[in-house]
Chain A
Amino acid sequence: MLTQFGATAESLSKASTMVFRIGTDAHLYDDPDDVSIVPLLDSKFESEKCEALKRLLALIAQGFDVSNYFPQVCSENVATQSLEVKKLVYLYLLHYAEKRPNEALLSINYFQKDLGDPNPLVRAWALRTMAGIRLHAIASLVLVAVGKCARDPSVYVRKCAAIALPKLHDLRLEEHTAAIEEIVGMLLKDNSPGVVGAAASAFASICPNNFSLIGRNYKRLCEILPDVEEWGQIVLIGILLRYAIAKHGLVRESLMLSFDDLEIQSLEKDDPESSHLTVKRPFDGSSFDIYTEIADIVARSYLEGPDKYLARLGHVNQDSLGLDGSCITSATSNDDVKILLQCTSPLLWSYNSAVVLAAAGVHWIMAPKEDIRKIVKPLLFLLRSSGSSKYVVLCNIQVFAKAMPSLFSPYYEDFFISSSDSYRTKTLKLEILSTIATKTSISSIFLEFQDHVRDPDRRFAADTVAAIGLCAQKLPDVANTCLEALLYLALSESSNNAVALMGEEEILLVQVVKSIMAIIKQDPHSHERVIVHLVRSLDSMSAPAARAMVIWMLGEYCNIGDLTSKMIPTIFKYLAQRFHSESVETKLQIVNACVKVLLRAEVEDMSELRLAISYVLELAKCDSNYDVRDRARVLKNFLSHCKGFNYLEEADNLTEFNDLTYVFAEYIFGGTKKVPSESFSYRFYLPGSLSLIVLHAAPGYEPLPEPCSFADDETSHSPTNVHNDHESNDIDDSDDISGSLDEENTSDYSSGSVSGEGGDSYIASDSGEDEEAGTLIHLSDDATDSRDHDRVSVKNTSSGLMDAGELMSKRALESWLNENSGSGQNSSNLSHVQRSLARISIKDIGQLVKPKSYTLLDPTNGNGLSVLYRFSSEVSKVSKELACIHVSFSNHSEGHMCNIFLAEEKPNPSPDSSEKSGSPSESVLVSLDKEATLIPMEEIDRLNPGQTADRVLQVRFEHHLLPLKLVLSCDGRKQQVKLRPDIGYFIKPLPMDIESFLKKESQLPGMFENIRRCTFSEHLNQQNDKDEPPQKDIFLMICEKLALKMLSNANLHLVSVDMPIAANLDDLSGISLRLSGEILNNSVPCLVTLTLKGTCAEPLEVSVKMNCEESVFGLNLLNRIVNFLAEPTR
């Protein structure tokens, strides 16, 4: 049954690839740009849009940069209702958002709209995409959105909110950290396990050490753990483990403290098998298990990170973990630890290998030693999952096995190598096998090893040989057997080599000799026979490394028995014969061996040996290789006074110097040195971590927290309170201000509004300022002010003004403080700041303001009628939502024109609308509700050639980007025109003084505040144009220029212009302009602060700060400001 099905499925899939490729998107992938994409994008049909987006996606997939389509995609398609188009747009948008931040911002409004959609899927997508755009400018908006979605009724949306938090955190917004962490805390408390899992991942990447968030619901998190979805489980397990250690410390019975345990109780060895492995501990003399020492290193590495630990190892004496009793807890008595172990143990049966490994890690670190056993079987079962995870699991098991071989030793069969394993897996298995081998299992393991020695992969065979050597060193009982097997291998391999010289074969032989050498080192006296055999087969060995090692052994062990001493003269004769054809490596060893033999050999026939050796040394002295020559010379010197070598030396008086050389020679080549005990320089990283696999600390790796480093304080305040206060204040204040609004003529920007409202810190201007044409500088500092009123002197004093800080009035300091606290700086050190401010007032700027005018219709298109419009700073008297626009009509044609009229575009314009609209009558006012977007203007009856007529249009724009489509009728002809909105005129000036400005500003911190930077270079043109007007101060000129630019492009009120007194001659840094306005339709104030940086001669860096409760509006306005500041005035 299965076969048949399999067969049909196969043929079906074949058929489908053949035939049904037509119906797929194949053609889109193959030729994504064979049609023009732009018209498709602009198409009315969803299917065509879809196709265009698919083509873009195909181009992205193939690595092309298609970000130039960004504006089209964003402007036209974000607003779509089709979910498929939405999805595709989002995919595209996220790919390029960072590259095109400005255009991406345009789409924010749609996302905000989508966030209110009844369909949770739409809400979730909107949130994911919005957060994925990752722009600093909208971070606060996203934060609000995330906060909202974190309370969403849909689990899926809440989950997406949790995942969105790390995206925000990535932007590194210090001022939002508290708010982000608060949302994390809230989501961790969520009822749905799905949300908790995602929240855990957010926690881990945002604030992994904020344990108070975990402490509050630790028990609940443990209980919910089995229901959390697998990916969340992985992260949550790690968090809970870290918390438990930080809160309660290590577990007394666990492996982590086994070393201390031993020290305290001088525990009896319970494992007789490895009792021979106990070695003397060098510094306190107590007997201890080598594995316990490794376990100790593991524990230290986990706690400190291996790099730190190993670095310390060099100079600080090892001591116990340094934990006092208070940092130790018990798994049996501590409920928190108990519940953690209980809740993670079923996860050892999970389908997800990462979950199993994470759970095993918890048990490894926290469980009592006898309970660790339960992680073994699940871990071994993981080896059957997929090839990729197998390798990672083995890396972890390797560490476990090193510290606690008894865990795995009964299961050695699971590490038997299968031919389908990758090379790395094989070597890992070999290493584990040699670690866990015991007396009982070694025979089976060896049987396996013998098979591997014959493996076609010689590299692997060599590794096997190395593993055999390790086993033999570990278990001296089998050393003999191993040695014999290895020896046979060496002999047969060397004979094989003679037949087929393959580079690969050498590896094996060298490794065999190396392993033999290692085994012999442990107990040279009982292995004399082996050395003899090896030396005898020297002739057939061709690998230089192997030969060198055999010769080393010969020299090192030349005096251990009769057989060797009998052989030595012959051997050296042989070596002398072959010397010229040896490789450098071998030559060096031969020379060494000569010295050793002469120093210790008890050979009967010394003369023969002496001859051979001196011949060798002479040969070496004339060798072509520097190293060999040098060594031969040095050693010959050494030897000049050795016994039996004296005859070479003419002078036989033994000077002290010669004595010394003899001592040196003895010291270097003489005494049988003890093999230094193996130093453990393993790098242990936490189980399941990436660092463990790559064997270096990956960025972001953190060792376990310091035990008991976290003291739970229930009184930790939540940062929300602060926030709420601000919000409530804001509401109050905005009410106040909107209430005090009046219909004043705001186009008058006389300086009176600034200087007249000066606070008590202002010094009344004296006679000097009147001479200054329209400008003056108020120093907000009594002392400096009284000293001098001249600008120049301000500059002079500013350079040496050390006492300005003391002299600075309280008022100015306060205002300054407020300003800075608003921008999120650390206010603690502000009291020490020694700066002073001067206030510049710019007079009569209102007259200089010239709003930019735009063309509605140019004469070529309009049969000679040209229509220009500019936004007016007037405020409509009809409704506060309407913006006033001055429209000027001028006739450039020969004949006159009649009945010129602008009206809203309607599908069927009613015939009488034009009559009605003759004057703004009562009916129009009445009908003015949400629908009305235009208060019709007065009709121009007749326009003579060359004549110009001005009209005022009152318009309500739907959106700050959507142009208003109007119909211009002239002489009965109708023509469509587009009136483009300017967000700078969606506001009206809000007159206020500097105090209320600063107060307001301080109430709008954090998410209501946005800063962007741009460069302002217009003042440079000015300077170049008219060679520095001498009577005008350059500071003033620039401030004026900037203020003018602001006021000509946005309907704002200039509150104040401040400059720091401590400013340098040319340095404009610190000058700040404050402007205020309120949004037309809801009277929400917008505060703009421009701060300059740079010098007069260079383009200025202007940072524009926007404080506005309507974040979206504020942001859009901010962008507009930045744009017009950067663009030159025509």
Chain B
Amino acid sequence: MKMSQNSSGKDDQASGSKKPISLPISRVRLIMKSSPDVSSINQDALFLTTKATELFVQHLALSSFNNGSGKETNSLSYSDLANTAQETETFHFLTDILPKKILAQDYLNSLEQMQEEEGADY
């Protein structure tokens, strides 16, 4: 199996056409090793996980952009990501770390409303 035919330089201008991956494999291995059950990691699995991670970033960024208001504003914001995580089933596993943000004032207002509705038996 041929891996990393090209030397890993940092000089490719095109979007990933020369180098196979653009993420540091050693760092990916570190993260994988932080799982308690993992003892050793096969080199191929590591490479493919890195590649899969790259695809994941692309998929997440593109989905969030298309899903959100990016098309008008031509930008990607945190709320685009949070919305995509909640609405797209593929990204449901991210909802824990991508909560939606609201202003504290709005939160307190909603809390008051809910308490009123429930009879304020607090």
B is a partner of A: no
